[in-house]
Amino acid sequence: MFTQFLKATFALLLISAFAQANENESEHHHHEESHHEHSENKIEKIQVTASRLGRIVTESATRTEIINGEEIQEKALMRPGNISMLVAETGGVRVQTTSPALGSANIRLQGLYGRYTQLLSDGLPLYGGQTASIGLLQIPPTDLANVEIIKGSASSLYGGSALGGVINLISRTPSDEYEGEVLVNATSKNGQDVTAYFSSPLTDDVSASVTAGVHRQSEQDLDDDGWLDMAGYKRGSVRPRFYWQNDNGANLYVTLGAMKEQRDGGTASNASLPDGSLFPLNQESRRTDFGFIYDQPLGDATNINIRGSVMKQDHQHQFGEVFEDDSHKSYLIESSVSGYSDKTAWLIGAALQSEQFNSKTFSEFNYDYQVPGIFSQIDYDASDDVSMSFSARADWHSEYGTQVSPRISLLYSPEDWTIRGAYGKGFFSPSPFIEDIDEVGLSRLAPLENLDEERASTASIDVSRMIGDLETSMTLFTSDIENVTELAMIKNANEFADKQVQIINATGESNIRGAELLLRYRWNDIKFTGSYLYTDAKKDTDAQISQIPLALTPEHSAGLVVMWEEHGSHLVGFEAYYTGTQHLENNPYRDRSDPYWHLGLLGQITFGKISLFVNAENLLNVRQTKEDPLVLPEQARSGRWTTNIWSRNDGFTVNAGIRYQFGD
């Protein structure tokens, strides 16, 4: 009923919009605003790039949520080493731990599986088309200007890896003057971070920036059971960026990145599991990448864009006595032409994507996917109040054949209301790296056979209104997923020798229905943000007679953030997040989790170019191992020794540090 209601509402919205467009024939001029421009009512206009055509976020039919620079700076004080907290505390976004031993995690948008989320850097898949879960914990927020989030299928824009949505990390652009900052941070759990960002013009046409970081965390066994609750790691990364532009409007962006990390978890030194064995879980990661974007005007109203990227990530894993050595490679080359008139903006392009996996240990899982495709998008401003966006993509997947992914979005904005609707379809090419494999590796997994591509259709209606300094928003969303890949036990293990589990396509569908509520209010220097998320996520059983809840998906979650900030002087913040009960699978201690609260306090004081900060997280000292053991009574057939993480696993933590800024 919910899906039919949403589709009917979207149809009514479409009809109303066309009627309004016919009544209003006033000319709507195409925007040419700068990246940050203020209108007469002082509302900041931010140009988004994740929707391809670079529309102003308030004028784009494609809903794109923005985490602005102010919020990024606040979260960078709380978690300088990675972006997990930055995205986790956004409405409708959940960071899900996939390996309790290593701490790896992925990003779930509106309840969809984390592997469906495409993570981009300046529009480039520098972390791979299918981002490894650990990658989320290896990206510092130091050089980010803002973050763009598109929820729901974005396969029409970015191919199969964006079935659940897109998170686009936008880097800072160098100014005309030299500037930079160094941040030093330490935590009560014996963790340390040093990050640095510098940018400067090099010539009249060329500028550059560089971001670097060194991060360390010591191993922590918080409940003294011999199993590490927090993995230890040592990581270093560096990313230079170069920007060139000429007087004719052409510009070139080039970036290179390198990262190396050693991460250690599993059993602590001289400790053993219930069966008396040792089970170290270690991973060494090395990633290098290169990307570029070239943009060239072709006359007054047409533009050509060429972009490309290359990524290689090498891993050496240890799962108990099993060692795995493998590498992931990702390539993209893409060219598109775009143009605009008074009421229309359009884009057409072609791309070739490649995803490769090569294992020296288990070569039966190697794959090399080649995916050429063509895509197009057209945005039409039917009137001052109505705009529409239509996009479609056709991919020719070397393994899964022809895939067509359409998306339609509609914006209707009478007076101070904004009403959007969206419907999209997409696909995802299966691989061995579903969430349940992060903890155990490939040693007990049978070779992949007879898998179909995962497919989903998503729809949403959102309504927002600005009333003075109060912003209100409500979103209804739905997703139907077919052919979900999941881990299953092999009934006849002798058929596969030492293999115990296999990946199969689930029978039936997974259905997700939900609603988001958001309130923002600014009173003088104090900003209040309240959010609530309701999620009804279920999947068919094998018999398809009834449905059961999706695991690790809370039905209710909510948040409240209060920030008092006077720029150049001080910042004080309080946050409270509630996570409701969750259905659990393969957990011998319980079938449903307990609800819990996460409370935090942040303070910063600034003296000129120096800022001192202190942040307290998890004030209630919530920790899952206070309720139940993390370690299973016996090893599961898949090879894992832990339950899933449904709560927090770090306890009360304080971090503090200093930030020094250079330049004007």
- What pLDDT was estimated at residue 56? 74
> Which pLDDT score is estimated for 436?
86
Residue 90: per-residue pLDDT: 86
8 A C-beta contact, residue 154 and residue 407 = yes
Question: How many angstroms from the chain centroid is the CA of residue 98?
Answer: 14
Q: What is the 3-state secondary structure (H, E, C) of 423-471?
A: EEEEEECCCCCCHHHCCCCCCCECCCCCCCCEEEEEEEEEEEEEECCEE
Q: What is the mean pLDDT of each run of 10 residues along the chain (664 residues)?
A: 54 49 42 37 50 72 90 91 87 89 90 92 87 75 93 92 93 94 98 97 96 97 95 97 94 96 93 91 96 94 96 95 95 95 93 96 96 96 94 97 97 94 96 89 94 97 94 97 94 70 94 97 95 96 84 96 93 97 96 97 96 98 96 93 94 97 85
Please state the domain count of the chain: 1
Rounded to an integer, what distance in angstroms lies between the CA atom of residue 333 and that of residue 293? 10
Residue numbers of the domain that contains 87:
2-663
Half-sphere exposure of 19 (CA within 13 A, CB side): 6
- Describe the strand order of the beta sheet including 165-171 as a list of residue ranges: 65-67, 144-151, 165-171, 117-121
Please report the sign of the dihedral spanned by the C-alpha atoms of residue 641, residue 643, residue 648, residue 651.
Answer: negative
Phi, psi torsion values for 364, nearest 5 degrees: -65, -15
Could you give the 3-state DSSP secondary structure of residue 367? strand
Structure tokens at 395: 């991919």
pLDDT at 462: 96
Pull the structure tokens for residue 289.
């990448």
DSSP 377-410: EEEEE-SSSEEEEEEEEEEEETTTEEEEEEEEEE
Q: Residue 71 — φ and ψ, nearest 5°? A: -65, -35
Q: How far is CA 470 from CA 39, 464, 519, 530, 559, in A?
A: 17, 11, 7, 11, 17
* CA-based nearest residue to 338, from 293, 306, 373, 386: 306
Distance CA 55, CA 64 (A): 10
**Structure-token pair, residue 382:** 């039917």
Q: What three-state secondary structure class fits 80?
A: coil
User: Strand pairing of 322-340 and 344-359?
Assistant: antiparallel
**CA-closest candidate to residue 504, choices 484, 524, 520, 482:** 484
CATH number of the domain enclosing 473: 2.40.170.20
95: nearest Cα among 104, 106, 82 = 106
